Structure 1
Amino acid sequence: MGLFAALRPPKEIVFGKGQSDAIGAIVARHGSRALVCTDSRFSSTAAFSRISNTLKAAGIMVHVHDRVAPDVPYESVAICVEEARPFAPDVVIGVGGGSCLDMAKCASLILTHGGALRDYYGEFKVPGPILPVIAVPTTAGTGSEATPVAVISDSSRTLKVGISSPHLIPAAAICDPNLTMSCPPSLTAIAGADALTHAIEAFTAARRSADAELAQRHVFVGKSVLTDHFALLAIRLLGRSLERAYRDGADEDARADVMMGALAAGCAFGTAGTAAAHAIQYPVGALTHTPHGLGVATMLPYVMTYNRQACLQEMAEIADALNLAIGGHAAEEKADAAIAEVARLFEAIGITPTLAKLGLPEDKLDWTAEQAVGIERLIKNNPRTIDLAAMKRLVRAAYDGDLSAAR
């Protein structure tokens, strides 16, 4: 294996309990007039008041948009931008879950370059730098604080759409596990399972030919030695602490592990990309209106089973990162143990085990497969070739709950 690597992390990452108190100093290095994108729930908390007061104490003028909705509806971005334009922000802060961070990216994009959000769908459509985005996650899952992607829901399209550009990578990510302490068990589980899926799909992503144009023409470039480092870190931390954080939300060490795991997974997949589990979730989510993290986690054990033969060594390393007591065993046994442990963990934290239980209609299985296999930016990342016939078998296996049929 050559030592090709690509990584596009934020310019600054600060992580640790209480680090959100540094927000004033960090934002002041980027601007003095901040648009803050958050949701109505978080804006009413003591934690948000503390952040606002810290910003004001640093001399930052603040305009708060606290109506961010889940999945960032297309029309809501224009509302936020028009509301903020007279304020003339020179920095945008996203505080909250992934939707709040994605709203901050989208608002900054339109405030900088104008036009309609649809002008930027796809890869490398953003023409240049945007207003600095400061990302302050309050959940541990999406990794949006470290990625070049913003995902939105557009009512004119069946599936959610993404804008992918290195220009969307936040200027700074402030990751304070204290901000996740109030996350309920269900959100902790879904967000954490999303992060583990990011990490495993990034670590098992296809390795591409490392020509000099690869990272210049593609936002997601497949696995490399640097993304592997972050992916394994995420798998190790989430494997040891996600269930603990789910069962005891007051466990500060578990919360820190899970948040660091989500950040590391974001650093990994933000360059490596994700694959089939995410491709299938796009049509599944459109039909079932279930959370993104829940859908990708439902699919992950089946996708791992399908990909097993194409990435046995990576699957064995996942087993080691999960600290499974199978040292010295063959790669095949380790791979099987890794898949079994992911399925066990997800069951323990309440992840829906099948597409049927997720609410996918049986008569939509072929449509789901057709849509998923057409999402080329994700399918090309899958380590095992997956055509329509194989995708139909995989979707059916996940619907029936038959892991063996996913091989």
Structure 2
Amino acid sequence: MPTFGALRAPRNIVFGAGQRRATAGFARGLGHSALIVTDSRLADSPELAGLVDSLTAAGVRSAVFGGTVAELPLDCLDAGCEAGRRLGVDLVIGLGGGSCMDAAKIVALILAHGGRPRDYYGEFRVPGPVLPVIALPTTAGTGSEVTPVAVVADPEREVKVGIASPALIPHTAICDPELTYSCPSGLTAVSGADALTHAIEAFTTRRREATGGIVHEHVFLGKNAMSDHYALLAVRHLSGSLKRACEAPGDIAARESVMLGSLAAGLAFGTAGTAAAHAIQYPIGASTHTPHGLGVAVLMPYVMAFNRPACEAELAEIAVAMGVSPAGRDRAELAARAIEAVTALFSSIGIPSTIAGLGVSAAELPLITERAMGSTRLIKNNPRELTLPLMASIVEQSFHGHGAPASSNCEHQE
């Protein structure tokens, strides 16, 4: 198949300790009045106070909306939009975790085009450019600072729903590892596992025929040469540093490596897309109210085992990127080692081994299966074709603990 590559990304990406101080310089070139979208904890933080002061010094007025709530209920977004209208902003700055990044994107969308979030559910529903967004993540996991999607919780829907459009990609992403130093070990683990899942699914997602119109027909373009580069970069950094960052939160090098891995994973899946693990997590998250990153991490080894016949070569490359020596091993063995390595890493940072450990009951499995199959934009990306019975088999295996290797027999690196 001819080589095809594409990358959907912000205009500016800045990475490094202390680089949050570059924010005001970018803001000055984008507008005169900024809404800072964050949560209640960060609204009173020294980091936010420093951001406001730097904006003022640069001649940019600002207001703070600190009402972002996890999972993004619609009333939270309505309040953020109203705060932006009162100030008459022409720029939005997101500071915080994935929910704050997504909230900033949606506020920028509504302030530019009006309506409510549900008017834009699905792919390519955004009619044009939104207000420019500067994204400053304080966790290393979602990659939302570089992706074309935002996910909300709509009370009229049983599961979370996404708005996907290249117009949602932030103008500028500033990834400052210093903003993650206070992140507790549990959140570091869940966020990092989310990022590794993004990288694995992006690298193993289905490759589409590269027609001349593919970039206009799909928000997520499938596996390609450019997304592959960032996916493997993410795998190397996350597999090599995530456990250390959880065990020794003060290890600056590990923190930097995890955040760089999360950024690379966001670039990978923001272009290629994700697949079955994410499709199954959405109904599980709605049922159990457990973090998104925790759910996809539990599911990832089972999805890898299911998809192995369709992506053995890619799994073998993932194994090598995770530090498994290829010497004396054929592709099949390396693919098996990839699944073992992921299982072992997740176990070592406290990820449960089954969805039962997330609070899922046996009675819920048929409904989870049915709702997972409803995530069409994710199902179409899976490298192995999914039918309802096959989806049911993944869900049941992830509940009973069958189909993925036991972590006690796994080696992570060699």
Normalization by structure 2: what TM-score? Answer: 0.97
Matched, 1:270 2:270: yes
Task: State the 1:83 CA deviation.
Answer: 2.2
Give the aligned residue type for 2:270: G
Q: What is the match of residue 201 of structure 1?
A: 201
1:6 shift after superposition: 1.4
Is the 2:121–2:164 contact (alpha carbons within 8 Å) kept by the matching residues of 1? Answer: yes
Match of 2:244, SS state, is helix
Residue 74 of structure 1: how far off its partner (Å): 1.1
Letter in 1 for 2:176: D
Structure 1: state its 5+ residue gaps. none
Tell me how far 1:211 sits from its aligned partner: 0.5
**Aligned residue type for 1:232:** L
Distance 1:219 1:242 in 2: 29
Where 1:356 maps in the other structure, the secondary structure is helix
Q: Give the aligned partner of residue 173 of structure 2.
A: 173
1:403 aligns with 2:403: yes
Report the Cα distance in structure 2 between the residues aligned to 1:236 and 1:245, rounded to whole angstroms: 14
Superposed CA offset, 1:327-373 (max 9, x none): 34101110111100100000000111101111011101011111111
SS at match of 1:115: coil
Q: For 2:82, what is the secondary structure of its paired residue? A: helix
The amino acid of 1:153's aligned partner reads A
**Where in structure 2 are the equivalents of 1:119-268 lying within 5 Å?**
119-268=119-268
What CA distance in whole angstroms lies between the structure 2 residues aligned with 1:328 and 1:61? 62
SS at match of 2:130: coil
Deviation at 1:46, TM superposition (A): 1.7
Which whole-Å CA distance do the structure 1 matches of 2:373 and 2:86 have between them? 44
Letter in 2 for 1:333: E
The secondary structure found in structure 1 opposite 2:324 is coil
Q: Which residue of 2 aligns with 1:33?
A: 33
Q: Number of residues paired by the alignment?
A: 406
User: Is the contact made by 2:34 and 2:63 (CA closer than 8 Å) also made in structure 1?
Assistant: yes
* CA distance in structure 1 between the partners assigned to 2:116 and 2:65 by the alignment: 19
**Quick one: which amino acid aligns to residue 304 of structure 1?**
M
Which residue of structure 1 lines up, in the alignment, with residue 363 of structure 2? 363
Check the 8 A contact 2:339/2:404 in 1, yes or no. Answer: no
Q: Distance in 2 between matches of 1:15 and 1:358?
A: 34
| In structure 2, distance between residues paired with 1:394 and 1:224 | 26
Instruction: Show the counterpart of 2:280.
Output: 280
Q: Is 1:116 aligned to residue 113 of structure 2? A: no
Aligned to 1:349: 349
Rounded Cα–Cα distance in structure 1 between residues aligned with 2:197 and 2:174: 22
- Distance in 2 between residues matched to 1:199 and 1:332, nearest whole Å: 20
In structure 2, do the counterparts of structure 1 residues 404 and 111 end up closer, same or farther at CA, with 3 Å as the change threshold? closer
Post-superposition shift, 1:403? 2.0
Matched letter for residue 152 of structure 1: V
Q: State the AA in 2 paired with 1:364.
A: E
| Partner Cα separation in structure 1 for residue 399 and residue 347 of structure 2 | 16
Q: Is the partner of 2:136 in helix, strand or coil? A: strand
The SS at the match of 2:353 is coil
For residues 180 and 76 of structure 1, what CA distance do their matches in structure 2 show? 24
Match of 2:86 in 1: 86
Equivalent position SS for 1:403: coil
Q: What is the CA–CA distance in structure 1 between the aligned matches of 2:29 and 2:255, rounded to whole Å? A: 29
Aligned equivalents of 2:49, 2:288: Cα separation in 1: 36
Show the counterpart of 2:381: 381
Q: Give the match for residue 13 of structure 1.
A: 13
Q: C-alpha distance in 1, partners of 2:48/2:62?
A: 13
1:52 alignment partner AA:
V
| Alpha-carbon distance change, 19 to 6 in structure 1, aligned in 2, over 3 angstroms | same
Alignment partner of 1:48 is 2:69 = no
The alignment's TM-score, normalised by the length of structure 1, stands at 0.98
> Do residues 339 (structure 1) and 339 (structure 2) align?
yes
Indicate the SS of the match to 1:63.
strand
CA contact (8 A) 2:301 2:404 kept: no
Give the superposition deviation at 1:376: 1.2
- How far, CA to CA, are the matches of 1:352 and 1:279 in structure 2? 18
Deviation, 1:323, is 1.0
Give 1:272 deviation, angstroms. Answer: 0.3
Q: Equivalent residue for 2:303?
A: 303
Query: Which string of whole-angstrom CA distances, capped at 9 and with x for unpartnered residues, describes residues 28-49 of structure 1?
Result: 1111200000011112222222
Gaps of 5+ in 2: 406-414
2-structure distance, mates of 1:282, 1:88: 35
Rounded to whole Å, the distance in 2 between the matches of 1:200 and 1:52 is: 37
Tell me the residue number matched to 2:293: 293
Instruction: Return the offset for 1:325.
Output: 2.6
Counterpart of 1:59 in 2: which secondary structure?
A: coil
1:206-231 CA deviation, whole Å, 9 max, x = no partner? 00111112110110110000000000
Distance 1:350 1:178 in 2: 24
Identity, % of aligned positions? 53
* 1:128, distance to aligned residue in structure 2 (A): 0.3
Cα deviation digits, residues 70-115 of structure 1 (max 9, x gap) = 0111111111111220211010000000000111001011101001
**What is the CA distance between 1:404 and its match in structure 2?**
5.2
Q: How many Å separate the matches in 2 of 1:47 and 1:75?
A: 26
Q: Deviations over 1:277-318 (max 9, x none)?
A: 000001111111100000000000000000111111100000
Q: CA deviation at 1:56?
A: 1.6
Distance 1:29 1:157 in 2: 39
- 2: CA distance, partners of 1:274 / 1:216: 18
SS in 1 for 2:264: helix
Runs of 4+ aligned residues of structure 1 deviating over 4 Å after TM superposition are none
Residue identity matched to 1:126: V
